[in-house]
Structure 1
């Protein structure tokens, strides 16, 4: 009996063992396929994460650049007003610290700029009108010399060939009279845009001088609360850099203009004051502006004074530019605008491609300001800073908006 039970138990155990799956051979097991994300190397994952974020940033910057180009008649005067305000705000604040009323300090700063620009225009116009007769005579003389060089020089052109070329030029002008008329209308329209832009610059500068801090506080409050200290600190750092850049650039441009215009006046080159004004304006475009305006000064000396004075003018321009490049730029500009010279050249080139002359003018201050803002955010100096306070409300406005307390009815 017991023997039979043991046999049945062994049979049941054998049956259960037969039903149990066999142990797999480790060498014959095929690896389970992983997901695609798991097969990507970690370095590629990090590069992809950076790539789409950079593409998003570039897309946003592209949209902003497109909007700036479309609204150039508003954006350019606004940028110019900001640059001008960066120069005038310290002057206005200095007068206010000496107990000058704010409205008077703002008025003196704004009117001072208008008077300075008007004085420059008056000096340039006066010199051009005063030297018109002599310039006209010298121009005709140089034209005759050019014709003589073309006929008697290596080219050996005949008078008939020169007259035919002149007649062809006149015919081309007459055929393109319609284009010239449309160009004149375009110039008229451009003059209207220029006048509108001048008014926008003056009004924008005025309001920045009056309430620039309040407008910036309003801009900061558009951002999330946690980001406000970083935005406010970056904006203040960029504004400080822009102020220093404008002050130093005005000093450097003034030294360049006085040096080149003074040298031109000493050797008797005509239009010394207009040349100085062009050099002053061109110096705000680093590297490129000085070369272009210096070349113009040499060309005027060559046309109206001859080869000897032109060579002397080249020496004057080179000396001034060497002083700027090796003395003024490292000692004065280098401590303010910490941007590599290659970055300056590339920014000027990119600004010229995008915005023309205005782009070359605003490229370097924009790059310097953005560089300062990015460095401030990356440094983390804004962490732990309190949220900037809301813009102050004038006492009269606060009193006007305060609700009067109703009087308690008397019994």
Structure 2
């Protein structure tokens, strides 16, 4: 260490507040101030607000700032960037700056758990929010690693050409700008490259990958697989009943859009009880019809953070018999839901006793996670597993990129998160030197 890192800041109140309607007694936060103060707060960054400091009268330019031993910024959004620059000067060259971008609600969720500190972590990382309020070329030269949730910036996914999905994903203009910068600067490490996250956007492609996983690990003694499935482009296909049978599908089934994330309807799903339920079904096409697995309403959520794997156990949808009884008693049609908001969860009376963590084969899961890490080439991802009651098959029902992993205690998950990013950078640098 060359010197102590910056861990606090005093902000002139005049740059944070403005007087409402010209009334000096009514002060409101400027638009950029609220997210900045949250970033400082959740970074555990000591922050003071002064109503007495005011250098604006005699600090007019960068030269004056330098003479006073200060750094002058013209926008509040520049403050995190300035802090990173100061810390790089204070700390040796092994310090890594992680520039991150994701939607505000997701950023806030991570930040509240201490995942994005502005001062160095124990393994030498600083997290700097990338803002599109400033030119990217002024920020990215300070960055060693870009961490993104690009699916937050998807505008449209076209699935007409399954052989080249990457050319059918339309990102926001700001994500396209970032993508162009990355393409020009091949020495910049990305967690994870946009091409690598393409499979998790497409449920059909993930199903095909899981078929390969099943084949690769079939000698493990316990089956791990994806659910049986059928891709449909039209719910009125002439040979649909025959196609369902050939795909080893029996009703009830679950119907999901082929687009897995990033668009508004990606999580609109339905449980169907008879073929007629497919008529005028309000699920986007093309769609994937999947096997519904009896699993005693128990879902295992696995999180892969680099080389480490964590999991949490959650309640899930009820078994088939319960669904059928509900359907018969209420004369329901298809059960349509949003998997992020209104997933039909079993209550206590609908859960089977005796479903314990011992039902999950953790060695098999570890081997599966390692295989998926190699094939997907992702550093941070998650997958959901249910254990079929009758056969004990481990069925992977979902794979996703950069999950929140909020079910894992922060004291365990956040250091593993930092370690995964650091290891990704180290491996990236080794690969680029070869």
Q: TM-score range by the shorter chain?
A: under 0.3
Structure with greater helix percent:
1
Bigger relative contact order (CA 8 A; separation at least 6): 1
Q: Normalized against structure 1, the TM-score is what?
A: 0.27
